[in-house]
Amino acid sequence: MMYRSFCWQVPVAAAAGLVSVAQSAQDLEYHDSWSAQDRKAIDGVYRRCGEARSRMLEMIDREELSFWEQVEKDLNGKLSRSGDGALLENEPNIFSKAVTRSVKRVCVHVMMYPFLQMVEHTAKTGDAKYANKDRFSLLHLALAMGFHDLSKALVDRGADVNLQVYMQPRFGMDVEGKGDIPLTYAITPFPMFEDLVADDRGAQKRFEAAGRIDVVKFLLEHGADANVRQINDLCPLELAFLWASVQPEYTEIAGLLLDGGAKIDVREEEYEFSALCSAVSFGNLPMVERLIGMGAEVNRSVRFRGGWRCPLVEVNCSRESSPAILKVLLHHGADPDARMITLPEDVEDGMGTDVSASEQTLLMKLCRDLSIATLQEGPEEVERVLDMARILLEKGASVNVVNPKNGKTALAECFSCLSSKDGKSREAAVRMVRLLLDQGAQVDLLWSDGKPDQWEIKRLKELPPDVFARLPELSILKDAVE
């Protein structure tokens, strides 16, 4: 049909102008100063960039082919049903996706060209200091792809170990200039572009920790700044904690950063950072112990995303090490009733409650997260949550403390899980409520104004009879809903 042939011509015509841009990677021209080993490594970097570009274009083409096959199928069906072969009225613009895919191809070339051009220029001139307009140098790429010997050679040739990639302001975020530094790529355990060029794209390759540890140490010895802030104000130490949660050997990198001058406590007018908070959040027990030994304050609160946080409330029940970390913090004087404070904003949940405002303790958080632990993580995390609640209560956590922002106690935070139709969630909540009641939780403090709201009444009505049988102290709540 004419319609069919016209449809297939659109993407071909749209891509025709890209042929000259999409040529395969050429052989590099080298300056005489490069060693044979360096040339081989630079070839590897260049080839990896070219392979990534080709793979991205292939992915776009496959998506495009699939789209046009579906267009042909759909339109043939519609034209057949119309009976006369005429175009149906109000047919959507079927060419919009073709344009989108052509734009995607252009974007791939625009994105990859600066990398390829930068490698070509550095190879030809021997200038290791050279960077493209976004301040991306061969050192960044070599580290990102795991060419450690080349990275060291570039530093020896004068490459800037603190050159920060330039980022344009976007999405209302204050990120201008706050891009990655070479140290960022040295810390990261995943090779750049590996997910695109690997034969088995389902298995993500990771660098051997030993090689990364060696190159991080080398960069620090050659002046790398361990305190440079990047996008979202992340610093190298936080990134090291993050990757250590994926690959424990990377804890040694965090240690190298501390040895290399990484600050454990930053207090500035618009930025605060607590290394202890980050180590606790990522479940890194060895680093928690080391930081406390270095003088980190266990009750130090820092501003964070519109509120305040301290180490204790950063304990993450999804980490296996969390109970041990909690014990260490409490042993060194952490306040068991410390609160994570979220500052009030004009955001409501539709029932008059400012859901963005909170002053919850870790005990409240554990009670609230019971359903998440039950449904997403399984029985091990449920036991971990209950164990952490016991540890807090044994160390003097106040069972009846009230969140002034929503008027709820830890006991009240259990009710969404207690009224759950899921048996496992309800069983976990019954055990938590039993623990709280045995420690003196007062049922009459469930609500700050002495009576439940409409949402809480609904939950009370959904409580199965066996809950009241196992928790007779809650029987007085029946009067509240009758």
Query: Could you tell me which CATH number the domain at 129-197+207-263 has?
Result: 1.25.40.20
**Average pLDDT of 429-436?**
93
CB-based contact 385:371 (threshold 8 Å): no
DSSP character for 319? S
For the chain, give every domain's residue range.
2-86+93-127, 129-197+207-263, 365-482
Distances (CA, A) of 317 to 18, 322, 378, 382, 384: 52, 6, 12, 9, 7
Count CB neighbours of 369 within 10 A. 19
**Average pLDDT of 209-217?**
93
**Could you tell me which residue, 459 or 370, shows the higher pLDDT?**
370
Assigned CATH topology for domain 365-482:
1.25.40
Listed as own residue / partner, the contacts of 56-63 with beta carbons closer than 8 Å and 24 or more positions apart are 56/108, 56/112, 56/196, 57/22, 57/105, 57/108, 60/101, 60/104, 60/105, 60/108, 63/101
Q: Is the pLDDT of residue 95 over 60?
A: no
**Average pLDDT of 204-221?**
88
Confidence of residue 19 (pLDDT cuts 50, 70, 90): very low
Residues in CB range of 333: below 8 A, 6 or more apart: 298, 299
Work out the percent of the chain whose per-residue pLDDT is above 70: 73
Q: How far apart are CA 276 and CA 287, in angstroms?
A: 8
The pTM of the full predicted model, rounded to 2 decimals, is 0.78
**Identical fold at 129-197+207-263 and 365-482?**
yes
